[in-house]
Amino acid sequence: MRYPTRRSLLRAGALLIVSTVPTFAQGNQTNQKMTSLFKIVSVKDEVVIGLSADELAGLGGSDAGAVAKAFAAKGTLTVWQYAVRKAANGDLEQAPRAKIGLIAHDSLRVEPYATPLKVIAHE
């Protein structure tokens, strides 16, 4: 029985990476232009929210820091909660689940949320 050499394993791994990464990156960039996802982390739980480009512009920026600053300044935000669901064709996707209200708290943290799934824009 012949075992694969280190060189053949590296070549196969490189081929897999080269063939996979451009597709993932291209799909992710397209989805992120419409809706940006953020994870809101509190002492008790975590929730993923989605904000459109217009909503982010209204908050004064497009990163987690701008969302956190607006959240602290306003005290509350009404946003769309996002969750994974199965599309009609069977693929998984990140989609709006419900409109929720968030109340600012000292131990709250806002993080960008990356997903390999298709992100569905909310209304």
Residue 28: pLDDT over 90: no
Q: What is the pLDDT of residue 94?
A: 95
Q: What is the pLDDT of residue 71?
A: 87
- Measured at the CA of 67, the angle between CA 63 and CA 73, to 5 degrees, comes to 145
Which comes out higher in pLDDT, residue 39 or 31?
39
Q: What is the pLDDT of residue 21?
A: 32
Residue 32: pLDDT over 70: no
Return the closest-CA partner of residue 70 out of 56, 52, 50, 81: 56
- Measured at the CA of 27, the angle between CA 10 and CA 39, to 5 degrees, comes to 100
Q: What is the pLDDT of residue 14?
A: 36
SS (H, E, C) the chain: CCCCCHHHHHHHHHHHHHHHHHHHHHHHHHHHHHEEEEEEECCCCEEEEEEEHHHHHHHCCCCHHHHHHHHHHHCEEEEEEEEEEECCCCCEEEEEEEEEEEECCCCCEEEECCCCCEECCCC
Q: What is the pLDDT of residue 7?
A: 46
Mean pLDDT of 65-85: 92
Lowest mean pLDDT among 11-25, 35-49, 95-109: 11-25
Return the closest-CA partner of residue 37 out of 112, 120, 90, 93: 112
Residue 38: pLDDT over 90: yes
Supply the pTM of this predicted model. Answer: 0.70
- Local confidence band at 24 (pLDDT 50, 70, 90 cut-offs): very low
